[in-house]
Amino acid sequence: MLGWELPPHNSGGLGVACLQLSKALASSGADISFILPYSPTAGYDFMKVLGASDATAPIPYATGVYESYKYLTASGSFDLDLHDQQELYAHRVGLLAESMEFDIVHAHDWLTFRAALLLRERHGCPIVLHVHSIERDRAGGHGGNPLVRKVEATSMLLADHVFAVSERTKQMIVDDYGIPADKIEVAHNSIDPDVFEFSDGNNSYHYLKYLKDKGWRVVANAGRLTVQKGLPHLLAAARQVVDYNPRTVFLIVGDGEQKDELIRLAADNGIARNVIFTGFQRGQRLRDAFSIADLFVMPSISEPFGLTPFEAAGYGTPSLISYQSGASEVLRSCLKVDFWDIDLMASKIIGALRSQALLDELSRNARIEFEKLSWQQTADKINSRYQKMAGAYA
């Protein structure tokens, strides 16, 4: 398997999804070697993790795979440009693979696709590309970086098979790149409740806890602060929510290139006191953000999947999510809205916060859905595809 990140050096959902999927596949009998671009710090008993270089992991919230817009030139915080990064990874993966035996190459997201193509050329093995997001998602619904689009289009055209994390993503691959729909199979992301870390009673947001005791309501979001995530729409809706009930606070957890713009926007909207930006958090402070919230909102403009509302469900917090997400294909017990419909978003937030009965009902049912979640179904689907492909090549 070729991937760009794994926990603890993940910048978002990609690393978590890769890890949990690999675990489920391994438990169905797959023998996996996972090659990262950096030298791994953690090992697992269910798969081998290799580094394509001796370099240490990048800083947590600036990993390249999401920041495709930075790869147009060699400038910015990256020493290598798009072409060099991929070439280097492909070259090193090629060297590593010389002494390895494998039946199938499974590559996650665009930066690893070139390496997958190289392995097929050299070893004649089938390649599977797993699309967690395409460039249009990362660019917030617009075209994005043409160089990245070219990599995605060419690789998927040449690939033996493509997995997409949602129907929505599959449709976008067909629309954007003209890849035949029958070559693309949907493999929804999931969560393993068994390894889910629950929150203990002592929440680290003491101030929010105090406010809640005084009758305030907390609305949370967690994710990268980037155009794809639609947070300016949430802040516009927040203005209306605060007008209706000034005792509402919005907790925004995460970091990204949009951070300064969002801070400014909250102030421009006159709700600086009602919006708290925590910066990037992981571990307990991330879990506590989910659990302190009365409502979790994922207002993404274009979300291939979006695991956060499922995590929120695990912490007993109901969600309002945009229809423009893969999660909305799977999660039933939540409120949904079009990301652009700010008035309706505000109205649904207000409505939910006003009705404890609604919040409780959503929370209970979402929790039932959460407990049924498992990667196994997805792993079985992928495994059976592996069998077919290996058979076809044999």
Partner 1 sequence: MSRSIIFYLHAHQPWRLRNYTIFEATQSHNYFDTDDANSNSNRRVIEKVAQKSYLPTNRKLNALLDKHPDFKINLSITGLLLEQLEAWAPDVLTSFQDLASTGRLEIASETYYHSLAFFYDRPEFERQVEQHKRKIEQLFGQTPTVFRNTELAYNNQLGQWADQAGFKGILAEGWDPVLGWRSPNFLYRPAGAENIKLLLKNYRLSDDIAFRFGNRDWEGWPLTVDKFINWINGTDHGEVFNLFMDYETFGEHQWEDTGIFDFLEDLPEKWLSKPDHSFMNFSEAIDKLEVKDDIDIQNTVTWADTERDLTAWLGNSMQQEAIKAVYDLGETIMGSGDWQLIDDWRRLQASDHFYYMCTKWFSDGDVHAYFSPYKSPYDAFLNFMNVYHDLHWRTAIFQDNIIQKETV
Q: How far apart are CA 227 and CA 169, in angstroms?
A: 18
Kindly state whether residue 260 participates in binding partner 1, applying the rule CB under 8 A: yes
Q: Which stretch binds partner 1 (CB under 8 A): 41-49, 72-80, 137-145, 276-284?
A: 276-284
Q: Does 273 bind partner 1 (CB under 8 A)?
A: yes
> Does 76 sit near partner 1 (CB under 8 A)?
no
| Residue 22 vs residues 6, 27, 40, 153, 328: alpha-carbon distances, Å | 11, 9, 16, 25, 24
Q: Taking the complex as a whole, how short is the minimal distance between the CB of residue 212 and partner 1, in angstroms?
A: 12
Among candidates 238, 217, 255, 272, which has minimal Cα distance to 345?
238
Judged by CB, which is closer to partner 1: 96, or 211?
Answer: 211
Q: Is 344 in the site for partner 1 (CB under 8 A)?
A: no
Rounded least distance, CB 226 to partner 1, Å: 16
CB of 171 vs partner 1, minimal distance in Å: 37
Considering only CA atoms, which of 281, 328, 284, 283 is closest in space to residue 303? 328
Residues 188-227 that bind partner 1 (CB under 8 A): 204-207, 210, 214
According to CB under 8 A, which one of 76, 178, 246, 270 is a site residue for partner 1? 270
Cβ proximity to partner 1: between 85 and 258 the closer is 258
* For partner 1, the closer CB: 268 or 343: 268
Q: Is residue 267 a contact point for partner 1 (CB under 8 A)?
A: yes
Q: Supply the minimum distance, in Å, between the C-beta of residue 257 and partner 1.
A: 12
x-marked contacts with partner 1 along 21-50 as a string, rule CB under 8 A: ------------------------------
Q: Which residues, 6 or more positions from 329, have their beta carbon under 8 angstroms from its beta carbon? A: 166, 167, 168, 188
Cβ contact 320:230 at 8 Å = no
Residue 285 contacts partner 1 per CB under 8 A: yes
Among 50, 263, 344, 358, binds partner 1 (CB under 8 A): 263
User: Binding of partner 1 at residue 352 (CB under 8 A)?
Assistant: no
The answer to whether residue 233 forms part of the interface with partner 1 (CB under 8 A) is no
Of 148 and 276, the one with the shorter C-beta distance to partner 1 is 276
245 binds partner 1 (CB under 8 A): no
Stretch that binds partner 1, among 41-49, 115-123, 268-276, 365-373 (CB under 8 A): 268-276
For the bound state, the minimum distance from the C-beta of residue 236 to partner 1, rounded and expressed in Å, comes to 15
Question: Cβ of residue 259: shortest distance to partner 1, in angstroms?
Answer: 7
Q: Smaller CB distance to partner 1: residue 108 or 287?
A: 287
Closer to partner 1 by CB, 268 or 361: give it: 268
161-164 sheet: strands from edge to edge = 105-108, 127-131, 161-164, 184-186
Task: Output the smallest distance, CB 291 to partner 1, in A.
Answer: 15
Binding partner 1 (rule: CB under 8 A), the pick from 39, 154, 245, 278 is: 278
- Select 83 or 206, whichever has its Cβ closest to partner 1: 206
Binding-site residue total for partner 1 (CB under 8 A)? 19
Binding-site member from 132, 188, 259, 348 for partner 1 (CB under 8 A)? 259
Tokens of 182: 């029958």
> Which residues form the interface with partner 1 (CB under 8 A)?
204-207, 210, 214, 259-260, 263-264, 267-268, 270, 272-273, 276-278, 285
